[in-house]
Structure 1
Amino acid sequence: MTSEFAIAVHALVFLDRSNATIASEELADNVCTNPVCIRRVMGKLKKAGLIETREGMGGGYRIAKANSDITLRQISDALENTFVKASWRSGNPDKKCLVASGMSVVMDELVTGMNRSCNDYLERITIQKVEERLTALKEEKDNETGGCLSCQ
């Protein structure tokens, strides 16, 4: 998982719960990153139609769809995310040995399958489900005080 994916999920949940247009500086503060990272990620989410932007005074980002209509798979796709990568392949396809000549193909198939499994899993999780889990965590903490006012 990339940091961009974590930033995107965090930002979308915060935008949805805020139900407002949020500037990149405020969003960066909540995500605990810098506004440049936010703008880079949000540009990709905008291109995918997951957020809307407003320019000028009072401008910023706003979620573009219902939280139940945004899956983590859509976010991953918007970021062109790959979960598993093989940067090196053993063997050599020109060797006569079955193992040496075929291992890179088998490893590529494994990597492709792992990425497919990750994406299938993310297809079943929506921003709404992430928010429900956050609410459950809050309840598990026995109404512990603290945190930001917009989250209480």
Structure 2
Amino acid sequence: MAHSTKLSDAMHILVFIETNPNGDLTSDAIATSLASNPSSVRQMMGKLKRAGLISCVTGHAQPALTRRPDAITMLDVYRAVEGDKPLLHLDTHTNPECGLGVNVQLVIGERFGEVQQAAEQAMDRVTLAQVIEQYERRIAK
């Protein structure tokens, strides 16, 4: 089962943009940092732009944050790239004839909702500024 790296990749892109204001901000340069491809970076940047987190003009490698890093939360970024997609997913292919198969999934779904809410509350407390500060401390060592 593949897992999504959209949130970490989007956070990476935002840190890259903010910490390299005079550097090479092409999708090629960002893709190299992500070990990804430029097309994926452009798609991700399109989502960040539609969410109002960055400004950029096609053909000009000058993306910029639209808000201060302390005003962008991990939840903002999560919603920009994942939308309303939940973190956890139920198995919807259980036997509908089996009382356990149906009802245990409903109970698990309720717990998943609680986990989603807790995760979103935690993401809302993490700012891009905090991530950048921790990154800069790490590379200073």
TM-score, normalising length: structure 2: 0.83
Q: Which aligned pairs between 1:3-152 and structure 2 lie closer than 5 A?
A: 3-20=5-22, 22-56=25-59, 58-79=60-81, 80=83, 81-88=85-92, 90=94, 92=96, 99=100, 101-139=102-140, 141=141
Larger radius of gyration: 1
Which stretches in structure 2 are left out of the alignment for 5+ residues?
none
Deviation at 1:28, TM superposition (A): 1.1
Q: CA RMSD in A?
A: 2.2
What is the CA–CA distance in structure 1 between the aligned matches of 2:32 and 2:66, rounded to whole Å?
21
Question: How far does the alpha carbon of each residue in 1:46-94 deviate from its partner, in whole angstroms, 9 at most, with x for none?
Answer: 00000111233x43422221100100000001112432122346564x6
Q: TM-score, normalised by structure 1?
A: 0.78
Assess, with a 3 A threshold, how the Cα gap between structure 1 residues 89 and 111 changes in structure 2: closer, same or farther.
Answer: farther
Structure 1 position 100, deviation (Å): 5.1
1:24–1:38 CA contact under 8 A, matched in 2: yes
1:91–1:117 distance in 2 versus 1, CA, 3 Å: farther
1:92-145 deviation digits (Å, cap 9, x = unpaired): 4x66x5x55522211111111111111111100011000111122234x3xxxx
